[in-house]
Amino acid sequence: MASAEFDPVNFKHLQRANWNAISAGWMSCAADFDTGGAPVTAKLLELAGVRPGQRVLDVGTGTGEPALSAAAIVGASGAVTGIDLAPDMISRARDRARGKGNLEFVVGDVESLDFPAASFDAVLSRWGLMFAVDRVEMFRSLARVLVPGGLLAAAVWAGPADVPMMSLGFQVIARRLELPPAPPGAPGPFSMSDPDTVGAELAKAGFGDVEVTVFRVPFVLESPRRFIEFNKVVIPPGLKTMLRERFGSADDPETWAAVGEAVEPYRRPEGTVALPSKALLLRAVAPIG
């Protein structure tokens, strides 16, 4: 099957619309996602050496992590800014941050940051970088907003076979809809899964001391039903429309039963579903001078 042609302008437009649409449901799954993601957040904070008094930027913050956790560390003498492309994600992050004076959330694109140079001591991102169209340019602009020697710490996904939490449901739906494969190199959840390529891109953008390590994210869901609910939340509206057109309903029972079956091999004797998923953690130092 031929792959679909990639249109960067349309892609950005769709990203914003998709994440806006996902934001309401995302909160209903936030507990599962944040429980699994919490050790990643802790590791990112450690890798970036976040400490009291620092200015921290979180890109692709979604509903607010790791910005919220960073704000608890930097304290009243520090400041955290979270940015996200999707205004509806930002409004949910703001709800979660209510009453915290050292934290602000703004709508913005990681590929066109308009902060002054050297605005931040550290940049964090938990699964917010993989949707950039030009990653080297994105890393350059992150280097620019960091102080010389400032730290970038970010989590991205490894390849789909190692990330069942994010890939299994989509693979089932893609098969049911006979979707063409994504164009090679297109931005998406798994676009930064090759450690050598990502390391080279960081170096090309001027970052030094680049380290890429592997981290197993311990996602556990209470049942296959919960996995189905999670996927119903995170699939973009366009796929729901395609399911409706093809099977008469976005809730097509056969499709969702197949999504549930996909996690059977991951079901534990007591019924929970363990979907340990491999993330790559990037740590890099902004150029000095």
Tokens of 165: 């939490």
Q: Which amino acid is at 147?
A: V
CB 265 within 8 A of CB 276: no
User: DSSP letter at 101?
Assistant: T
Distance of alpha carbon 90 from alpha carbon 45, whole angstroms: 21
61 binds ligand SAM, rule: CB under 6 A: yes
Q: Which of 19, 230 has the CB closer to ligand SAM?
A: 19
15 binds ligand SAM, rule: CB under 6 A: yes
Sites for ligand SAM among residues 127-146 (CB under 6 A): 127-128, 131-132
Binding string, residues 18-37; x marks residues near ligand SAM by CB under 6 A: -x-------------x---x
78 binds ligand SAM, rule: CB under 6 A: no
Q: Which of 32, 111 has the CB closer to ligand SAM?
A: 111
Comparing C-alpha atoms, which of 269, 285, 280 is closest to residue 198?
Answer: 280
Q: In the set 29, 36, 55, 109, which binds ligand SAM (CB under 6 A)?
A: 109
CB 168 within 8 A of CB 276: no
Helix (H) or strand (E) run with residue 227 in it: helix 224-234
The stretch among 48-56, 68-76, 77-85, 270-278 that binds ligand SAM (CB under 6 A) is: 77-85
Between strands 273-274 and 277-285, the pairing is unpaired
Q: Which of 226, 267 has the CB closer to ligand SAM?
A: 226
Give me the residues that bind ligand SAM (CB under 6 A), please. Answer: 15, 19, 33, 37, 59-62, 65, 83-86, 89, 109-111, 126-128, 131-132
